[in-house]
A and B are shown apart, each in its own frame.
Chain A
Amino acid sequence: MKNQRLTIYLALWLLCVSLFTSCNKVEYTAIAEPAYLRVFNNLNYVQTLGSKDDKVPYFCMLINPTFGAGGAITGAEIVGDFLDKRAAYAPPYPSHIGNSTTVDNPEYPGKENVLVGPILNGFDLSSWAQVPSGDLRIIFAYRPKNSIPFLELESHLKTDVLIDTVIHLASKEVYTLHLLQKDFVTKTHGLLLRQENFHKLPLSDSLVYVNFYNMSATGFLEADLTLKDDDYLLRSFKNGIKDEMNIFLSLYESQEKPFVQAQTVPGYKGKFLTRLTRNNTNAAVSPYVSFPLWASSKSNGIQTDIWQRFDFFIPGMDITNNPFFSGDIATGGNWASVNCLKNGKVSLEGSDNGTQLPNLLVNVHSGTHNPQTFATVNTLEVVNGRIYLTTIQRKYAPPVY
Chain B
Amino acid sequence: MNYKIIDKRWYPVRQYVLFMLSFFLFSCEHPDLTVVVPNENLRPASDFIKNNYEMTLFSAALEKVGLASTLNEKGPYTVLVPTDAAFNELGIFRPSDFDKMNLDSLKKVIQYHILPRRMLLRDIPSNGVDVRYATLAGSELYASLGSVGPNGGTPTNELFFSGAKASRKDVILANGVLYVLDKMMKPQFDTSIQAWLAARPTYRVFVSGLKKFGLWDQLATNGPFTIFAPTNEALEEVGITEETLQTLSPEKYRADVLFGSYLIYDKHFFVSDAKVMGIIATTGGYTYQLKNNLHEMSFAAGEDYPSFILSYYLRLRADRTVTAPIIAQVSYGIRAKMDYLCRNGVVHDLNQGLVRPEQAIK
Contacts and interface: CB of A to CB of B under 8 A. Distances in A.
A262 interface: no
Contacts of B280: 47
A49 B268 contact: no
Interface in B92-128: 125, 127
Given A47-B127, A226-B287, A226-B289, A53 B267 contact: yes
Contacts of B289: 224, 226
A48 B284 CA distance: 7
Contact of B273 (A49, A224, A226, A230): A49
A46 B281 contact: yes
Contact of A52 (B268, B285, B288): B268
A2 to B, nearest CB: 11
Interface string A30-67: 00000000000000001111101100000000000000
A146 B281 contact: no
Contacts of A146: 125
Contacts of B267: 50, 52-53
A57 B35 CA distance: 51
Nearest to A224: B289
Interface residues of A, number: 11
Interface residues of B, number: 22
Does more than half of chain B's interface fall in helix, strand or loop, or is it mixed?
loop
A48 B273 contact: no
A222 B285 CA distance: 24
B213 interface: no
Nearest to B270: A52
Nearest to B275: A49
B286 interface: yes
B160 interface: no
Interface string A215-241: 000000000101000100000000000
B286 A49 contact: yes
A53 B224 contact: yes
A53 B226 CA distance: 11
Contacts of B281: 46-49, 230
Contacts of A50: 267, 286-288
B129 interface: yes
A49 B130 contact: no
B283 A52 contact: no
Contacts of B286: 48-50
Nearest to B293: A224
Contact of B283 (A48, A53, A224, A226): A48
B268 to A, nearest CB: 5
A49 B288 CA distance: 11
A52 B287 contact: no
A50 to B, nearest CB: 5
Contacts of A53: 130, 224, 266-268
B130 A52 contact: yes
A147 to B, nearest CB: 9
B179 interface: no
Contact of A49 (B125, B224, B274): B274
Contact of B277 (A47, A224, A226): A47
Interface of B: 125, 127, 129-130, 224, 266-269, 273-274, 277, 280-281, 283-289, 299
- A-B pairs, 7 with minimum CB distance: A49-B277, A49-B286, A48-B281, A50-B286, A53-B268, A47-B280, A53-B267
Interface of A: 46-50, 52-53, 146, 224, 226, 230
21 contacts: A47-B127, A47-B129, A48-B283, A49-B274, A49-B277, A49-B284, A49-B285, A49-B299, A50-B267, A50-B288, A52-B129, A52-B130, A52-B269, A52-B277, A53-B130, A53-B224, A53-B268, A146-B125, A224-B289, A226-B287, A226-B288
Given A50-B287, A50-B288, A226-B289, 18 more contacts: A47-B129, A47-B280, A47-B281, A48-B281, A48-B283, A49-B281, A49-B284, A49-B285, A49-B286, A49-B299, A52-B130, A52-B268, A52-B269, A52-B273, A146-B125, A224-B289, A226-B287, A230-B283
